[in-house]
Structures are given as C-alpha cells and as structure tokens.
Amino acid sequence: MTVIAASELVKRYGDFAAVDGISFEVAPGESFGLLGPNGAGKSTTMRMVGAVSTRTSGSLTVLGLDPDDYGPEIRSRLGVVPQQDNLDNELRVRENLLTYGRYFGLPRRLVAERADELLQFAQLADRAGAKVDELSGGMKRRLTIARALINDPRILLLDEPTTGLDPQARHILWDRLFRLKEQGTTLLLTTHYMDEAEQLCDRLVVVDHGRIMAEGSPASLIRSYSTREVLEVRFGSDRNADAAAALAAGAAAPHESGAALEPRRRLPAAHRAEPHRMSAVIA
C-alpha cells in the first residue's frame, strides 16, 4: 500500500526538464526525503505531488488519486509547508490558524479547538495573541507547520523545513516533526542537508538535475557513499578542476596547496565504514 506513487515523473518548462523521470513510492506513516542541491527539481516534484502543478508525463497518485483529476480532493487532505513562510502578517498568531481552518470549510468550534491544540504542539501557546512579525524565524516555521495541520492531513509536505534556521531552532523543529511521525503522519520533505535527512527520513532519494542519483535509508547511503571522516576543501573557484584532478591522482597535499581544510563532521559510530579511508568534498 502506498500513499504517494510516482513513476517516470517528468516536468518540462519548454525544452528544459526540471524533473526528468523520477520514480518513488511512499508508504503510510513513512517519512520520505528528497535530498539535493538547489535547482535539482525537488520543489517542482513537491508541487506536482501537492496538486498545484501539472506533470508533463509519467504517472502520479496521491492517496490513490490522480492529481490531474482530483486536485481539490487531494489538496484538502494534504498539509503543505512551503519553502517561504507565507503567514498572514496582518493577523495574530492564533488568528492565522483560525482563518486558515475556515478555508477548509471546517466548523468554527472545531477549528478553535484544533488551533489551541496545535499552538500547544508548536510550543506557541504563550504567543497566541502575538503579531506574526514579533516571532523568531523558528517560531514562524512552527506556526506554518501548525497551520498546515489544521485540516488534520494524512500527509504533510515540507519544502526545506529548516533552511535558514539556527541550530537550536532546527532541533526544536526536528523534535516536533519526529512527534508527528510518531503519531502516524506521512512526511514528504525536501532538504539540502544530509544531517536533516538522517534525523527525519526513513528513506530518501538523492536528486540532481531532475534525476534520482541514489536511493535508500540514510544509514545505507552513508555506508555506501561516505567514509569515517569527510573533509570539506575549499580552493579558489578557478582552481577546482585542477584540485579535483590532483586529489583523484592521489598526489594532492592540500595543506601545501594553500587550501583551507575543515573537518566537517565525525559520523556516529554506527555509520562508520572503512575507518582508515578519508574522502574529500570539493566545494
């Protein structure tokens, strides 16, 4: 049983394929990630799943329905957290939830109850009467998530949920998303960050240039593609090609070539593979 099934999904803008034959399936209650750099096609994929953009070809079902034929039905059963917060700054925090809930045609009393529960969930109960402008970036993000949950959706789509947040705000948000997952909400999220994917996703696909480059659980991807230490090496932008060639030939001594070496992170013990090797990322 799947709640989202995409097969050979394509989205073209003129001659350009923003999504170029992506296939994946998401099971109920699963947390599934699209990981990739800017321009990879993640948001375009999300918009097709969210039934706000039509596909060029391929097949797609969301909750068993084709978004081309059942857009309103699908949209009413999804929660969507867009990349840019689009909260209503004219309204207070709780009013944002009440107004949004009314768009779904939900009874006023039900929306009010749900708004209060969601403010608790988002740790914003003490800010219910605050202006949106007074909230921190992390609080705005949590309010956007609370708002996306007002219709009690079975699937939550999150486009780069923590981009731009400080580490503490990210961890609070991860904790809230983890709780949602525990409650059985299916999560589909995009991210640039492997650590975010590792925290939140059961499975993920790595996307670049509109195509899937790798697929699996975060742990299996780290085992397959990473090593115990990852160094991020920055050269002058005109020196990347030479540096890459030198590293590939095993001839590089980066400290001698003037590169800035920065140990990026040590992977948890469970993810350590091939402990004596070192890999480099050229930024």
Residue 191 within binding range of ligand ADP, rule CB under 6 A: no
**Selected range binding ligand ADP among 2-10, 31-39, 94-102, 122-130, rule: CB under 6 A:** 31-39
**Measured between alpha carbons, how far is residue 231 from residues 69, 263, 264, 276 in Å?**
48, 5, 6, 14
Residue 44 within binding range of ligand ADP, rule CB under 6 A: yes
Shortest distance in whole angstroms from residue 201 CB to ligand ADP? 16
d(CA 78, CA 144): 14
Do 61 and 4 contact (CB within 8 A), yes or no? Answer: yes
Residue 18 within binding range of ligand ADP, rule CB under 6 A: yes
β-pairing, 31-35 vs 16-26, is unpaired
Q: Where does residue 158 fall: left (phi above 0), alpha (psi -120 to 50 degrees), or beta otherwise? A: beta
Q: Which is nearer to ligand ADP, 12 or 223 (CB)?
A: 12
Residue 42 within binding range of ligand ADP, rule CB under 6 A: yes
Shortest distance in whole angstroms from residue 124 CB to ligand ADP? 27
Shortest distance in whole angstroms from residue 163 CB to ligand ADP? 10
Residue 151 within binding range of ligand ADP, rule CB under 6 A: no
Shortest distance in whole angstroms from residue 43 CB to ligand ADP? 3
Enumerate the β-bridge partners of residue 19: 11
The torsion of the CA quartet 269, 272, 277, 283, rounded to 10 degrees, works out to -100
Shortest distance in whole angstroms from residue 46 CB to ligand ADP? 7
- The binding site for ligand ADP (CB under 6 A) comprises 13, 18, 36, 38-44
